[in-house]
Amino acid sequence: MPDRETTKIAQQRIRTLFQQAEETHPQDPTLAQRYIDLARKIAMRTRIHLPQDLRRRVCPQCKSYLVPGKTSRTRIRQRREPHVATTCLKCGHIQRLSLREKEP
In the chain, domain spans: 1-55, 60-104
**pLDDT one-digit tens code per residue, 33-71:** 999 999 999 999 999 999 999 999 999 999 999 999 999
Report which of residues 27 and 104 the model is more confident about: 27
* Cα–Cα distance measured from residue 62 to residue 64, given in angstroms and rounded to the nearest whole number: 6
How much of the chain exceeds pLDDT 70, in percent? Answer: 96
- The pTM for the full model equals 0.86
Residue 24 burial (C-beta neighbours within 10 Å; 0-12, 13-18, 19+): middle
pLDDT of residue 81: 87
* Cα–Cα distance measured from residue 26 to residue 47, given in angstroms and rounded to the nearest whole number: 31
How many separate helices (H) and strands (E) can be counted in the chain?
A: 3, 3
Q: Which residues, in sequence order, are CB contacts of 22 under 8 Å at separation 6+?
A: 32
What are 72's strand-pairing partners?
68, 88
- Cβ atoms of 62 and 90 closer than 8 Å: yes
Residue 59 burial (C-beta neighbours within 10 Å; 0-12, 13-18, 19+): buried
Split at pLDDT 50, 70, 90, the class of 104 is low
Q: Is the pLDDT of residue 103 over 80?
A: no
Topology given in CATH for the domain delimited by 1-55: 1.20.5
